[in-house]
Amino acid sequence: MRNNMLKVDNINVYYGKIHAIKDVSFEVKEGEIVSLIGANGAGKSTTLKTISGLLRSKTGSIEFCGEDIGKTESYKLVSKGMAHVPEGRRIFLQMTVQENLEMGAYTSDGDIQKDLEDIYARFPRLAERKNQIAGTLSGGEQQMLAMGRAMMSHPKLLILDEPSMGLAPILVQRIFDLIKELHKSGTTILLVEQNAEMALSIADRAYVLESGRVVLTGTGKELAASDEIKKAYLGG
Amino acid sequence: MNFLSNLISGLSLGSIYALIALGYTMVYGIAKMLNFAHGDIIMVGAFASIVFINNLGLPMILGVLLSIVVCVAVGVLVEKIAYKPLRSAPPLSVLITAIGVSYFLQSLAQLIFGTNQKAFPKFIQVAPVQIGELTIKGESIVTLAVTVAIMIALTLFINKTRMGKAMRAVSEDRQAAELMGISVNRTITITFAIGSALASVAGSFYGLTYSFIGPYTGSMPGIKAFVAAVFGGIGSIPGAMIGGILLGIIENMAKAYISTELSDAIVFGVLIIVLLFKPTGLLGKKINEKV
Ligand SMILES: Nc1ncnc2c1ncn2[C@@H]1O[C@H](COP(=O)(O)OP(=O)(O)O)[C@@H](O)[C@H]1O
Ligand SMILES: [Mg+2]
């Protein structure tokens, strides 16, 4: 049996009085792609932000590589091997492409020049624009930059919040290809998507969130075939 | 010739405002707060210099340099004690706290040093420079040289170094910066340290220019530097430099050619006019509020 990389146990998260996450538990094992799917407002982003320490749970625990990180400051998680590409990309729009990538390597003690070259080799568009202000990039390029920025820290666990949001179908395909490549090269992935069909097609396992609760879980295949899911998320 | 010499003393005064304005604008950009106690750091530095030089008998330059250390310590301490606990409080609470800190520092200085003005040591004495009919005060030249050097160094630091880039990242998106592994708290501490160091240097040159200091010495240059920061576009580093320098020139020209009494009114008048046409200041970007 594979080890747990991430174990979320019974978390409850509030925004003031709003109870956004209710008794959520799930785990991500080493080497898996796990997907969280659910409608807009179901609590997917809140769950991810709680994992990466931007929000706190009132109950339960979160373990990352066997260590309780429930109270760990957010910025310390990067050097522990977690990278979170937030919803809406959140690249630094006023900084250059290269500076954005350098920020991804902020805690890195490796060879940053080489890592930059690797990213540029993977994304030639970013190489062409490395001295350009990131705010001038197209949506697809910005998503590539956000992913490249996260890859600069060589994460063990890559957390992606709706990476395909707002992108043209061909770019969505590219993002999913990239996720598969990263997975193949050994990165564990926690993927949040509204594009449930795509997400389920690459996920080893998935959890379905509804109004802040996990209502369904199974392998990607099982869920993709389930009538409930088809009706609610796959348009048929 | 008179005009040129007024311009140069305006430049020198303006470069002092610019140093103070940089502290305002950096703290605003990174900690997202108006630190109204920033001006009082000038006063803290000036009194520290006096203690080091007059009471402890240290060499003047050493005393002035040590006062920078004191200012950094006070600035960082104020942030830790007064502002850090309010990191997620409404902006108005933070603003009121900052005003409270300002009064606190002024009262503390009054308690220790009394209300009388004290002479500030002439820590730099340079002969005036004569170019044809134009006479330039030696102090003005030193002030300009030092402040310009500091501004260049700061610009390089912000644009080229890892820490400087992290500061820009925090200023743009605090949460995203945190997700990069940047400690926002540490970045804010460093910002306060830099701002206080700049204020201290500015305070020394301000003391040199005006010769006397008291517990309230920091408030007027503090307010003017704040105006300069807004004028240049608060949050913008080149904006604070340009705003400060323009403010010094306008103030000096108004004193020389219009009226000494009205000079401050004219300075604030110009600000209001600029803001009417460009609400974000000369180099200000649109302020996008993030939740
Ligand atoms: N900053 C916030 N303040 C208050 N409520 C919020 C905030 N962010 C999200 N919520 C609420 O929490 C719930 C979950 O939101 P979110 O995690 O963003 O959902 P998802 O990512 O699945 O679309 C929603 O009801 C949303 O309205
Ligand atoms: Mg979301």
**CB atoms A84 and B184 under 8 Å:** no
Fill in the amino acid letter for A139: G
Coil, strand or helix at B136: strand
| Average pLDDT, integer, range B178-185 | 97
pLDDT at A236: 56
Q: Give the mutation candidate from A73, A103, A157, A160 for the B interface (greatest B CB count, under 10 A).
A: A103
pLDDT at A147: 96
Going by C-alpha positions, the residue among B16, B208, B198, B5 that lies closest to residue B126 is B208
Q: Which residues in chain B are contacts of A107 at CB distance < 8 A?
A: 180-181
SS3 track for chain A: CCCEEEEEEEEEEEECCEEEEEEEEEEEECCCEEEEECCCCCCHHHHHHHHCCCCCCCCCEEEECCEECCCCCHHHHHHHCEEEECCCCCCCCCCEHHHHHHHHCCCCCCCHHHHHHHHHHHCHHHHHCCCCEHHHCCHHHHHHHHHHHHHCCCCCEEEEECCCCCCCHHHHHHHHHHHHHHHHCCCEEEEEECCHHHHHHHCCEEEEEECCEEEEEEEHHHHHHCHHHHHHHCCC
CA of A46 to the centre of ligand 2 (A): 7
Range of the domain at B67: 2-218
Greatest C-alpha distance within chain A: 49
Strand partners, B82: none
Domain count for chain B: 1
Quick check: is B44 in a domain?
Answer: yes
| Average pLDDT, integer, range B218-234 | 92
Quick check: is B60 in a domain?
Answer: yes
**CB atoms B180 and A95 under 8 Å:** no
**CA angle B20–B24–B25, rounded 5-degree value:** 115
pLDDT below 70 — which residues of chain A? 1, 234-236
pLDDT at A194: 83
Cα(B247)–Cα(B232) distance, integer angstroms: 10
| Average pLDDT, integer, range B103-107 | 96
Say if residues B154 and B22 touch (Cβ distance below 8 Å).
yes
**CB atoms A84 and B179 under 8 Å:** yes
CA of B198 to the centre of ligand 2 (A): 42
Going by C-alpha positions, the residue among A217, A173, A186 that lies closest to residue A35 is A217
**Mean pLDDT of chain A, nearest integer:** 94
Predicted confidence band at B69 (pLDDT cuts at 50, 70, 90)? very high
Task: Evaluate: CB of A1 within 6 angstroms of ligand 1.
Answer: no
Least confident of A164-173, B27-36, B129-138: B129-138
Quick check: is B280 in a domain?
Answer: no
Quick check: is B52 in a domain?
Answer: yes
**Mean pLDDT of chain B, nearest integer:** 92
Predicted confidence band at B291 (pLDDT cuts at 50, 70, 90)? very low
* CATH architecture under which domain A1-81+155-236 falls: 3-Layer(aba) Sandwich (3.40)
pLDDT at A227: 80
Cα(B37)–Cα(B222) distance, integer angstroms: 8
| Domain ranges (residues) in chain A | 1-81+155-236, 89-153
Coil, strand or helix at B245: helix
For residue A15, give the ligand 1 atom closest to its CA.
4
In this structure, the residue with its CA closest to atom 14 of ligand 1 is A43
pLDDT at B286: 58
CA of A18 to the centre of ligand 2 (A): 16
For residue A161, give the ligand 1 atom closest to its CA.
21
| Per-residue pLDDT at B135 exceeds 70 | yes
For residue A87, give the ligand 1 atom closest to its CA.
21
Most confident of B133-142, B164-173, B217-226: B164-173
Which chain A residue shows the shortest CA-CA distance from B179? A75
Say if residues B239 and B282 touch (Cβ distance below 8 Å).
yes
**CB atoms B169 and A54 under 8 Å:** no
Cα(B81)–Cα(A102) distance, integer angstroms: 32
Quick check: is B251 in a domain?
Answer: no
Over residues B233-269, the pLDDT tens digits come to 998 999 999 999 999 999 999 998 998 888 889 988 9
Of B175, B180, B184, Cβ closest to residue A104: B180
pLDDT at B130: 87
| Average pLDDT, integer, range B60-80 | 96
Task: Evaluate: CB of A55 within 6 angstroms of ligand 1.
Answer: no
Quick check: is B225 in a domain?
Answer: no
For residue A40, give the ligand 1 atom closest to its CA.
23
**CB atoms A90 and B176 under 8 Å:** yes
**CB atoms A95 and B165 under 8 Å:** yes
ipTM of the modeled complex: 0.94
| Per-residue pLDDT at B289 exceeds 80 | no
Query: Alpha-carbon torsion B217, B220, B223, B224, what sign?
Result: negative
